[in-house]
């Protein structure tokens, strides 16, 4: 595996941690961080609605970044010199190039005709 993969792996761990933090700050019933600023009910103060919007946008952004990093890390797993397909084909070629051993006939051990 290449060093690029390990960089992607570190970024994936960081983004996943941030995503967990952002999700845990939110409350699924409309409370969460925005309710601690006096929001709640139908009346919203100016900053409270922005807090909810920010958390919502941050969740979607981090989830998108996480998905992109995971897909990009898949490309960086192999350094380009050897792919998984070439290993399978090489193993098939080795099996085909090796001649099969000749069958060995065993001596008759039953002591004659019965």
Structure confidence at residue 68 (pLDDT): 94
pLDDT averaged over 10-residue windows placed end to end, the chain, 114 residues:
85 93 78 53 53 84 93 79 57 64 74 60
CA distance 3 to 60: 28
Structure confidence at residue 70 (pLDDT): 92
Structure confidence at residue 49 (pLDDT): 61
Dihedral sign computed on CA atoms, order 32, 37, 39, 43: negative
Structure confidence at residue 35 (pLDDT): 53
Structure confidence at residue 32 (pLDDT): 55
94 Cβ contact list (under 8 Å, min separation 6):
none
């Amino acid at each position: 595996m290449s060093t690029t993969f390990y960089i992607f792996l570190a970024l994936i761990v960081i983004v996943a941690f941030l995503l967990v933090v952002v999700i845990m700050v939110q409350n699924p019933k409309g409370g969460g961080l925005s309710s601690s600023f006096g929001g709640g009910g139908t009346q919203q103060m100016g900053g409270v609605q922005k807090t909810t919007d920010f958390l919502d946008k941050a969740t979607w952004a981090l989830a998108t970044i996480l998905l992109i990093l995971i897909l990009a890390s898949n490309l960086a797993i192999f350094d380009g010199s050897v792919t998984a397909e070439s290993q399978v084909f090489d193993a098939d070629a080795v099996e085909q190039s090796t001649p099969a051993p000749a069958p060995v006939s065993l001596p008759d051990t039953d002591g004659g005709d019965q």
